[in-house]
């Protein structure tokens, strides 16, 4: 019985990286007909996951300056996708961000378009290829876990 040999992580990374990047680019392009960019969708998702998040906290999470994040949020607000909500309680100077109904609709459309794009391509694969991809989801998701 032959023993399975583990793939070289560096060689596998060199093969996997460009494929993941191209898939990511294609999925990001799916949002353009909706009038938003991939970066704007990412910010909307971040606000959706943390309603009331402040601009400074969002900037820190996204790794950009608060001034740059303020400009991004201004554009989202002008587009009617986020609202600045004045803080309550102890710090009334703090302003939190919340999605508008339009933003929720845009995010539903984004998910729908991206899922449709990916499903169309998956339907072209053989059952064995689909099984291999299904088996790869859990190890790929593990790559996203933070080091402890």
Separation in Å, CA 92 to CA 26, 52, 70 = 42, 13, 18
Work out the angle between the directed axes of helices 9-29 and 38-49 (0-180°, nearest 10). Answer: 100
Cβ 79 vs Cβ 41: under 8 Å: no
In order of their start, the domains of the chain are 35-142 (1.10.10.10)
**pTM for this entry:** 0.81
pLDDT exceeds cutoff 80 at 85: yes
Q: Give whole-number Cα distances, 33 to 38, 65, 83, in Å.
A: 11, 29, 23
Convert the pLDDT of each residue in 91-119 to its tens digit: 667 789 999 999 999 999 999 999 999 99
Query: What stretch of H or E contains 83?
Result: strand 82-86
């Amino acid at each position: 019985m032959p023993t399975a040999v583990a793939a070289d992580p560096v060689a596998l990374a060199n093969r996997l990286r460009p494929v993941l990047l191209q898939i990511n680019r294609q999925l990001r392009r799916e949002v353009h007909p909706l009038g938003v960019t991939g970066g704007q969708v990412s910010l909307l998702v971040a606000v959706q996951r943390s309603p009331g998040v402040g601009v400074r906290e969002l900037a820190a999470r996204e790794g950009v300056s608060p001034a740059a994040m303020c400009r991004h949020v201004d554009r989202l607000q002008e587009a009617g996708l986020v609202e600045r909500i004045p803080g309550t309680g102890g710090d009334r100077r703090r302003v939190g961000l919340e999605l508008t109904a339009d933003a929720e609709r845009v995010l539903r459309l984004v998910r729908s378009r991206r899922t449709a794009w990916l499903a169309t391509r998956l339907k072209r694969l053989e059952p064995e290829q689909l099984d291999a991809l299904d088996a790869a989801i859990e190890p790929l998701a593990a790559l996203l876990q933070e080091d402890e």
